[in-house]
Amino acid sequence: MTILDKLASSLNRRDEVPNQQLAMQIVDGNDEKAVKELVRNLRNRDREIQSDCIKVLYEVGERKPDLIAEYAGEFSSLLDSDNNRLVWGGMAALDQIALANPKTIYGMLPKIVGSAETGSVITRDHAVGILIKLASLAQYRETVTPLLIEQLKRSPTNQLPMYSENLVPIVTEKNRAAFVRTLTSRLDDIEKAAKRKRVERVIAKLRGSPVRG
């Protein structure tokens, strides 16, 4: 069987299990040739094959980012697609390799942030994930933190608790006040009590816990 023969759509499956299994096989075998084949078929005429290929690729990236890190350019090009599945799949792949190829991903930030503004919730989720990862690196922190704060100001209230919880590890003494101020300003926007409490817990943690310098 070829790599394409193992995709869910080739097997007439409507679930993602075959794609997840293929990703695990590729990771276990460190199969760079298979990754290259999947990347090439992101331009396949069959949209189902395209969707399956990006699914397998970001599943590979979740397990072993280095295997797909060199294809950041190809993933970035998907952000221009008229196929929303490819847009958020491309952003997911970029999210997985943000720490494996940070210099390249940093150079793509204008496009990544632009796609977050116009894309789906999942697209924004992964864009924020990228910003958090880059902000964890000292060389990018000062530039990326304001971009992350802007996302917090405009993010859907349903996503805000997750974003605020995920950013806690990258808070420093220098940027803590800005994060606290931003999250506090959004509390009145959050209608659901459970979600508001999650953000309030993050604020309390940032105010009361020691943070990195």
In tens, the pLDDT along 142-195 reads 999 999 999 999 999 999 999 999 999 999 999 999 999 999 999 999 999 999
Percent of the chain with pLDDT over 70: 97
C-alpha–C-alpha distance, residues 65 and 98, integer Å: 9
Q: How many CB atoms lie within 10 A of CB 80?
A: 11
The pLDDT of residue 31 is 97
Whether residue 210 is predicted with pLDDT greater than 80 in this model: the reply is no
In tens, the pLDDT along 78-132 reads 999 999 999 999 999 999 999 999 999 999 999 999 999 999 999 999 999 999 9
